[in-house]
Structure 1
């Protein structure tokens, strides 16, 4: 394991959660948007994460003398998290009878996005907590490295 591996994993998690926070914030902001450039109501978006290979670890030089369990550890690759895609939710819009609304159809119904602000707030809080967990991991790694350097100096 390299000196910066812990930092790399934590920053990949922070980056992914930042994207999630931005998408959830857009969902909340557009929960009442009835008309977009594409026509129709805003469509909720979701973030799909994936495991990403950060970089390969160094290979062991002599496989004959390595125990099988130790070999698995040496062959392990550093993994982080990334954003695989941002997908649109195809849920049907919520129809409300508002004949005076400019986006009302001929029957007087307006199509609103199928976004529950309470669920979106829970998603936002979860993303925030995950971001904070990655910050804590980063700071713990920094503290360990600082103490290690202090020991080596002394």
Structure 2
């Protein structure tokens, strides 16, 4: 394990959770959006994470990052990244509102299948994960600082 590996893991986790917070916030903001540029209601999005690995042989002199899901490989953990942001394929929720401008010929409006309570729980979880990565980063920094203090004494 290199000197900066702990920082890399924590900062990649913070970046990934920041993306998750942004996506969940967009889901909450668009929970009642019935019309998008693509047509139809807003579709809920979710972030898919992946591990970022570094080949053991390249660990000391190279920053070549490789991605894999093979747990038997000889790669060292480098951090976490955002693999993709996927849209939900859930059917929209139909509500009878004949006076709504987006109502169909039967008077029903298609709303996104987004539960704000579930989204808030997901947001809180992402925020706690972000905070845990900040705490790990600060702990690593304090350990390094104390190590340097001992070496300089």
TM-score range, shorter-chain basis?
Answer: 0.7 to 0.9
What residue in structure 2 maps to residue 29 of structure 1? 29
Equivalences for 1:1-12 in 2 at 5 Å? Answer: 1-12=1-12
What residue in structure 1 maps to residue 120 of structure 2? 121
TM-score of the aligned structures, taking structure 2 as reference length? 0.87
Determine the C-alpha separation between the residues in 2 that align with 1:140 and 1:39.
48
- CA deviations on 1:70-91 (whole Å, 9 max, x unpaired) are xxxxx66133111010000010
Give the SS at the match of 2:32.
coil
Q: Is the 8 A contact 1:57 1:77 kept in 2?
A: no
Give the SS at the match of 1:35.
coil
Task: Classify 1:153/1:57 alpha carbon distance in 2 versus 1 (closer, same or farther; 3 Å).
Answer: farther
Give the SS at the match of 1:33.
coil
Unaligned runs of 5+ in 2: 60-73
1:3 positional shift: 1.2
1:150 aligns with 2:149: yes
Q: Is the 8 A contact 1:54 1:80 kept in 2?
A: no
Determine the C-alpha separation between the residues in 2 that align with 1:56 and 1:30.
44
Equivalences for 1:1-154 in 2 at 5 Å? Answer: 1-54=1-54, 56=56, 77-154=76-153
Aligned length: 139
Determine the C-alpha separation between the residues in 1 that align with 2:14 and 2:86.
20
Unaligned runs of 5+ in 1: 60-74
Determine the C-alpha separation between the residues in 2 that align with 1:106 and 1:76.
57
1:55 positional shift: 5.7
Runs of at least 4 residues off by over 6 Å: none
Higher helix share: 1
Determine the C-alpha separation between the residues in 1 that align with 2:38 and 2:130.
33
1:53 positional shift: 1.0
